[in-house]
Structure 1
Amino acid sequence: MQDIFTLKITVSSEDIDNLLHVNNLVYVKWMDKIATKHWAFLTKNYPLPQYVWVVMRHEIDYLKQAGLGDEITVKTWVGETKGITSVRFMEFYKSDVLLVKAKTTWAMLNAETYKPVRIREDVLRILSPEK
């Protein structure tokens, strides 16, 4: 498994729903945020502007709740990457308590045409540096 990328988020009032916990849609926004930040981190020395990523599938398990002011640690890493898709795993923690776990399948597109493109060696080297 590749190195784990982490991000800290403090729950704000905009994240809270009428049940007084973080709304499920907020977790999806955070998933996009950390995936984008991780991609930027991975490509900082080797930009790949010819590609963009779109979500094909989310699988999310909501296990525990987070509330206003909680500090959330989000962990992500890249899983199987082949064809036009790459799987990303994410876990959301409050202290050492797992709140949410997710698996997202992303598809790579050409940044100009928005058509799917096969993930080639230049991207594989970035996503799976141990290979």
Structure 2
Amino acid sequence: MNTEIFEYNITVPASAIDDMNHVNNVTYLQWVQDIAKKHWEAKTSNQLRNTYVWVVLNHYIEYHHPSFENEKLIITTWIDHHRGAKSERHTKIINEATKKVIITAKTSWCLLHKETLRPTRITEEISTLFSYQ
């Protein structure tokens, strides 16, 4: 699958800092989920969002470098592949100034029909929205 990379920029807020004076690992997980939602909302219509919902099956995160308050970060995400109702999304957070990779993440998602909350096959319409030719 040839997928587009979706990008979002943030500045680390004081609320993200833990007792060790760097971004807390739970915050990175929240950012991984937040950018997935932003990507979905940016690419889909209200009709699709009212028909389908995604749930996480698992997350795998590697922490490479710490980040600190007021640092500017670039968060990127893309769909690696999908099959049936499942999709694998990758996320990378990079320090804008140093270009160091802060974290890499891989998340398995499952598409559900919003009314029934049952898994549903990823349609060609949805797949096409997140790929390029």
Q: Same fold (TM over 0.5)?
A: yes
Gaps of 5+ in 2: none
Q: Is the 8 A contact 2:4 2:132 kept in 1?
A: no
CA–CA distance in structure 2, aligned partners of residues 103 and 123 of structure 1: 20
Q: What's the offset of the Cα at 1:47?
A: 4.1
- TM-score, normalized by length of structure 1? 0.93
* Structure 1 residue matching 2:82: 3-state secondary structure: strand
Letter of the 1:100 counterpart: I
Corresponding position of 1:116: 119
Letter of the 1:8 counterpart: N
Per-residue Cα deviation, 1:29-76 (whole angstroms, up to 9, x for no partner): 1011100110111114x7412000011011100000000111110011
CA–CA distance in structure 1, aligned partners of residues 92 and 127 of structure 2: 23
Gaps of 5+ in 1: none
CA–CA distance in structure 2, aligned partners of residues 6 and 77 of structure 1: 9
Cα distance change, pair 30–123 in 1 and its aligned pair in 2 (3 A): same
* Structure 1 residue matching 2:20: 3-state secondary structure: coil
What is the identity percentage for the equivalent residue pairs of Structure 1 and Structure 2? 35
Q: Which of 98, 102, 118 does residue 105 from structure 2 map onto?
A: 102
- TM-score, normalized by length of structure 2? 0.91
CA–CA distance in structure 1, aligned partners of residues 113 and 5 of structure 2: 27
Letter of the 1:84 counterpart: A
Corresponding position of 1:65: 66
State the 4+ residue runs in structure 1 displaced beyond 2 angstroms.
Answer: 127-130
Corresponding position of 1:86: 87
CA–CA distance in structure 2, aligned partners of residues 71 and 124 of structure 1: 31
Letter of the 2:66 counterpart: Q
